[in-house]
Structure 1
């Protein structure tokens, strides 16, 4: 078996000194085609450990993160998709200031990147749209306080059996039908062809 790969990790954040729900970290671990039964995520106040395997890609992923500051794992949320594991991690300490970085260690890591789709500057976050976490399952009350190994995890009610083998793309059948109809139509006569055909008929009539 090949050595585990470190998956790409994207992150962004919000901060708030008075409202806990607006004081959190966005964290996405990109691990395509890793089924819930093939992954284990342990979330702790100081960090997380993730391991997963993709049968289709024949690839094993593993990453351990130690956060800059503590999070409240019971108030954090998770959503598993066919491409990634998305998390909203509640910061434990209420502060108006951003964390200066995600990890305790200030080293540069090649796998850790800013999630520019979710990032806003610290002085502009009040203008950012409200975040909707309705599709994310809560972490509280789960075995091992965030241990998502096997089928015990709450992944927001997603039916993973429907993730693969998707049906045809909308409009695809219609395009094929139109192509078939086009093939059935007679090709238009080339320039001069009609006249030749007419004169030939005329000659036969004369005979």
Structure 2
């Protein structure tokens, strides 16, 4: 009796990412049919047989699709025949099997699809000017040198009589010393 490996999937308008998670797979056989039939078989573990047949939502371009059999998984980039969103991986109205899961690491919503980080349109934004934005200046905006006095901060109206406020010309060190001695 064969088992089913875990399958993760994500899509873009023009392709589907399919990952068969099966560490140490041996004798892997992957077949992709233009009609959208994806089959997989391999052995793993103690020579357990893993098989999979997925009836994909629509047709795929077999010649443009890529399959990489790795040590931990089998990663497939399946090119769709028609550039359109499927919304689900498999044909029909039935719920996807328990071993088919969304790959949230690769998932992009239809509204957010930009084709990948290299195609990201930032509208000509120049990131080198971010340091010049008000309140977000460079290293000289906040000077931590000790030779400046402490700025007095107003406290709420209901001050206690023993609350101490750092006065003008008083440094943090002298303030701490005076607080410790009192």
Q: TM-score, normalised by structure 1?
A: 0.53
1:113-124 correspondence runs (5 A): 113-124=101-112
User: Which structure is richer in relative contact order (CA contacts within 8 A, separation 6 or more)?
Assistant: 1
CA RMSD of aligned residues (A): 1.6
Structure 1 portions without partners, runs of 5+: 16-22, 132-207
Q: 1:125 aligns with which of 113, 122, 137?
A: 113
Q: Which residue of 2 aligns with 1:66?
A: 55
Q: 2:42 aligns with which of 39, 52, 60?
A: 52
- Secondary structure of the equivalent of 2:118? coil
Q: Deviation digits for residues 82-139 of structure 1, max 9, x if unmatched?
A: 11100000000123xx2121100232210110000000111111274139xxxxxxxx
Matched, 1:32 2:19: no
Q: Deviation digits for residues 63-98 of structure 1, max 9, x if unmatched?
A: 101111100011000111111100000000123xx2
Between the aligned partners of 1:25 and 1:127, the Cα distance in structure 2 is: 12
Between the aligned partners of 1:115 and 1:130, the Cα distance in structure 2 is: 20
Kindly tell me the number of residue pairs found equivalent between the two proteins.
Answer: 117
Q: Deviation digits for residues 8-27 of structure 1, max 9, x if unmatched?
A: 11000111xxxxxxx10000
Between the aligned partners of 1:120 and 1:66, the Cα distance in structure 2 is: 22
Q: Is the 8 A contact 2:12 2:115 kept in 1?
A: no
- Secondary structure of the equivalent of 1:42? strand
Between the aligned partners of 2:49 and 2:115, the Cα distance in structure 1 is: 40
Between the aligned partners of 2:10 and 2:59, the Cα distance in structure 1 is: 16
Q: 1:6 aligns with which of 4, 7, 28?
A: 4
Q: Deviation digits for residues 180-200 of structure 1, max 9, x if unmatched?
A: xxxxxxxxxxxxxxxxxxxxx
1:119-198 correspondence runs (5 A): 119-126=107-114, 128-130=116-118
Structure with greater Cα Rg: 2
Q: Is the 8 A contact 2:16 2:80 kept in 1?
A: yes
Q: Which residue of 2 aligns with 1:148?
A: none
Structure 2 portions without partners, runs of 5+: 120-182
Describe the shift of the 1:39–1:120 C-alpha distance in structure 2 as closer, same or farther (beyond 3 A): same
